[in-house]
Amino acid sequence: MSYKENPASVLDLVTEDEAHRDVYIDQDVYQLEIKHLFRNTWIYVGHASQIPKKGDFFTTTIGDQPVIMVKHSDDTVKVLENRCAHKGTKLVTETHGNTGKTFQCPYHAWTYRTDGSLLGIPVKNEYKPANLERSCAQKGLTALTNVHVYRDFVFARLSENGISFEDYFGDALSSIDNMVDRSPEGRLEIVGNPLRYMNHCNWKMLVENQTDSFHPMIVHFSSAGTVKRMWEEMQPYAGPTPMVVECIVPFAQDYDFYKGMGIRIWKNGHGHTGVNFSIHSDYTEASGYFELMIKAYGETRAKAILDENRHNTIYFPNIMVKGPIQTLRVFKPLAADRTLVESWIFRLVGAPDMLLERTAMYNRLINAPTSIVGHDDTEVYERAQEGLKCHGNKWMNFQREFFEPEGNSPVEEYSGHTEAQMRNQFRAWKTFMHTVNPDAGADL
Amino acid sequence: MSVKTEDVIQFVIHESRLLDECKYEEWLNLFLDEGVYWMPLDFGQTEEKLTTSLLYEDKLLLKTRVLRYANERTYSQIPKSRCQHLLQVPTVDFMDAKANDFRVYTPFHYVEHRGDETQNFDGWMRHALKIKEGELKIKQKRVDLINCDAPHHNIQLFI
């Protein structure tokens, strides 16, 4: 029987420390993920700084469906399905812009307010009112009811009923807090467009790799190791350490360094590397920045904010944020073997430009389709996607540093080498694939 | 050294040929010490440092790439990529020998091939050149892809 015919059988594909290959390569499992996992969980949509003025919009996808994030006339953020209520035409094709007070369909000129409500149908008297009244079309653009804006980060849950935003993320929100607090004004702004990197592999491979502290010294030996060697040969070096050396050399740190970084996991699949310190800890201070922070927060608090140097925080299922370098990566699942990674950067409002320069440099050095760090990551994911076609061994293994039961407390800390966060993600995967979800159909 | 239009054109053609023939050390020597290779992310991008680019690399980074190609543990280059530039005849847009400033515009078609995958890219490159110690050198090479903002798979070699 296929997973389509017996959806509940996908739950047997994940044990406490192994996952069956079908979780990565089977298109039916992928579709069940879109239908359930990406409906039941809180999915990142966009950032409020992308739509500062009334009528500003940003288009993206949640799971496989196109949506519009728009600033409504009452200054609230709305997330609307991007299809005309009439015949399904995608209303907005640009990634961002300003629509004024209404959206108008280019097909038959139906118009909608920016909260999705239907404003007008041309020659409306050609419709029998009672028929229109009972139609879906008359309701206008479907507006998601479960939208939550947390410190300008916009999330949505597609399913009508389910876990609340607060219960879903809990203390994991502290990583977003730290990134925002690094602005002396407590505010972030998205800068420019994202890097868009197509990977021929399953989205979970990318997400798992974000907290895989056992790969950098191996996978990135050829890139970070090369810069490290060149830098050693350049000694003694007069002048400050180049920014590029600070950004890339830590990727070549040894096993002990990454073990010492530590990993923290939270319920519902969230977790982060860099509990104690991280590859971002030793960046040169931007001139005048600490003074601005002291002025904003007082010395003790400013120091506490800047001493928190978390590495990668996963907000399950599919985003990762880096507070100390102000980047956000979105792993968009397109098919079982296709993932689009979008990498965004933020300006710390009120902070010196040098920090933005470093963030922009980090993004292109590490996250671009032209990145020598990214190339080797993508290489190993895609080799795994190919290798999983073998029929003898059908399992992926996540057993490193698994000595005691995990996930029984709201927050747990482990050594940096553990694969506990991957196990954590799969516990959440099972939970949110399993949750009874009336509006997604009764089949799981 | 007096530079003729033809010298500038031949320089740009030679630069691409070195890449196609994997003569990377020679290619690196075409750059000034402060030379930059830039591939913007956005169509018509003007900001170099305070927004994301696909590449914005100084000589240290360019040299890193060249050394990395030769590293035995460069997994994404097993097997190795190959590339071919097809250039339109370069146009010298601006030439001022006194100011030591030469600008060239060159539309291209570029093929990068690895394993069973062949990728095609189109765009234009703009070279800003200078004479140093009697030779033309690259101050900046800017490569604009027509689909700079599209989702890309690996682009591993220099366009």
A124 min Cα distance to partner chain B (Å): 40
Q: Which residues in B lie closer than 8 A to residue A356 (C-beta atoms)?
A: 50
* Predicted local confidence at residue A434, as pLDDT: 78
Q: Is the pLDDT of residue B96 over 90?
A: yes
* Residue A353 touches chain B, beta carbons under 8 Å: yes
Measure A223 CA to nearest chain B CA, in Å.
6
In contact, A416 and A432? CB cutoff 8 Å: no
Residue in B64, B76, B150 closest to A227 by CB: B64
Q: Is A340 on the interface with B (CB under 8 A)?
A: yes
Nearest-neighbour CA in chain B from A364: distance (Å): 6
Question: According to the model, what pLDDT value does residue A436 have?
Answer: 52
Which value, to the nearest 10 degrees, does the dihedral of the CA atoms of residues A372, A377, A379, A384 take? 180
Q: Which residues in chain B are closer than 8 Å to A370, comparing Cβ atoms? A: 39, 54-55, 152, 155-156
CA-based nearest distance B50→chain A, Å: 5
Asked if the Cβ–Cβ distance from B73 to A222 is below 8 Å, we say yes
Amino acid A437: pLDDT: 52
Chain A contact set for B68 (CB, 8 A): 222-223, 226, 372
Distance from CA of A281 to the nearest CA of B (A): 22
Of A194, A226, A379, the CB nearest to B76: A379
Flag if B67 and A378 touch (Cβ within 8 Å).
no
Residues of chain A contacting B67 with CB distance shorter than 8 Å: 226, 230
Buried b (16+ CB within 10 A) or exposed e, A260-295: bbbbbbbbbbbbbbbbebbbbbebeebeebeebbee
Domain covering B5-145 assigned CATH 3.10.450.50 in the classification: yes
Interface test with A, best of B43, B60, B64, B71 (most A CBs within 10 A): B64
- Shortest distance, CA B139 to any CA of chain A (angstroms): 20
Q: Is the pTM of this model over 0.95?
A: yes
Flag whether residue A373 sits within 8 Å of chain B, measured between CB atoms.
no
Report CB contact under 8 Å: A197, B152: yes
Token pair recorded at residue A208 = 């798992």
Q: Say whether the peptide bond before residue A52 is cis (omega within 30 degrees of 0).
A: no
Using the beta-carbon criterion (under 8 Å), do B49 and A242 form an inter-chain contact? Answer: no
pLDDT for the residue A58 = 98
Pairwise CB contact (< 8 Å): A198 & B155:
no
Task: List A residues 198-237 in contact with B (Cβ-Cβ < 8 A).
Answer: 198-200, 219, 221-223, 225-227, 230
Task: List pLDDT tens digits, range A204-258.
Answer: 999 999 999 999 999 999 999 999 999 999 999 999 999 999 999 999 999 999 9
Is A244's CB within 8 Å of B50's CB? no
Q: What is the pLDDT of residue A443?
A: 44
Q: How far is B65 from chain A (nearest CA, A)?
A: 7
% chain B with pLDDT above 70:
99
pLDDT of residue A129: 97
A193 closest CB neighbour out of B61, B68, B149 = B149
| Smallest Cα distance from A18 to chain B, Å | 26
Cβ-in-10-Å burial (0-12, 13-18, 19+) of B6 comes to exposed
pLDDT tens-place string over residues A287-325: 999 999 999 999 999 999 999 999 999 999 999 999 999
Hey, what domains does chain A have and what are their CATH numbers?
A: 44-150 (2.102.10.10), 173-432 (3.90.380.10)
Percent of chain B at pLDDT > 90 equals: 99
Among candidates B61, B63, B152 on the partner chain, residue whose Cβ is nearest the Cβ of A196:
B152
Nearest to A376 among B42, B50, B76 (CB): B76
Q: Does the distance separating the beta carbons of A369 and B54 come in below 8 Å?
A: yes
Nearest CA to A54 among A68, A71, A69, A76?
Answer: A71
Mapped to the 3 state alphabet, what secondary structure does chain A carry?
CCCCCCHHHHHHHECCCEEECHHHHCHHHHHHHHHHHHHHCCEEEEEHHHCCCCCEEEEEEECCEEEEEEECCCCCEEEEECCCCCCCCCCCCCCEEECCCEEECCCCCCEEECCCCEEECCCHHHCCHHHHHCCCHHHCCCECCEEEEECCEEEEECCCCCCCHHHHHHHHHHHHHHHHHCCCCCCEEEEEEEEEEEECCCHHHHHHHCCCCCCHHHHCCCCHHHHHHHHHHCCCCCCCCCHHHHHHHHHHCCHHHHHHHCEEEEHHHCEEECCCCCCCCCCCCCCCHHHHHHHHHCHHHHHHHHHCCCCCEEECCCEEEECCCCEEEEEEEEECCEEEEEEEEEEECCCCHHHHHHHHHHHHHHHCCCCHHHHHHHHHHHHHHHHCCCCCCCEEECCCCCCCCCCCCCEEEECCCCCHHHHHHHHHHHHHHHCCCHHHCCCC
Quick one: pLDDT at residue B1?
66
Average pLDDT over residues B83-105: 98
Does residue A400 sit at the B interface (CB-CB below 8 Å)?
Answer: no
User: Chunked in runs of 10, what are the mean pLDDT values of chain A (444 residues)?
Assistant: 88 97 97 95 98 98 97 98 98 98 98 98 97 96 98 96 96 98 98 98 98 96 96 94 95 97 98 97 96 98 98 98 98 98 98 98 98 98 98 98 96 98 97 67 43
Which of A198, A223, A353 shows the shortest C-beta gap to B50?
A: A353
User: What integer pLDDT is reported at residue A355 of this predicted model?
Assistant: 98
In total, the C-beta contacts within 8 angstroms joining chain A to chain B are: 109
Using CB atoms, pick whichever of B47, B68, B155 lies closest to residue A369. B155
Give the dihedral sign, CA A359/A363/A366/A367: positive
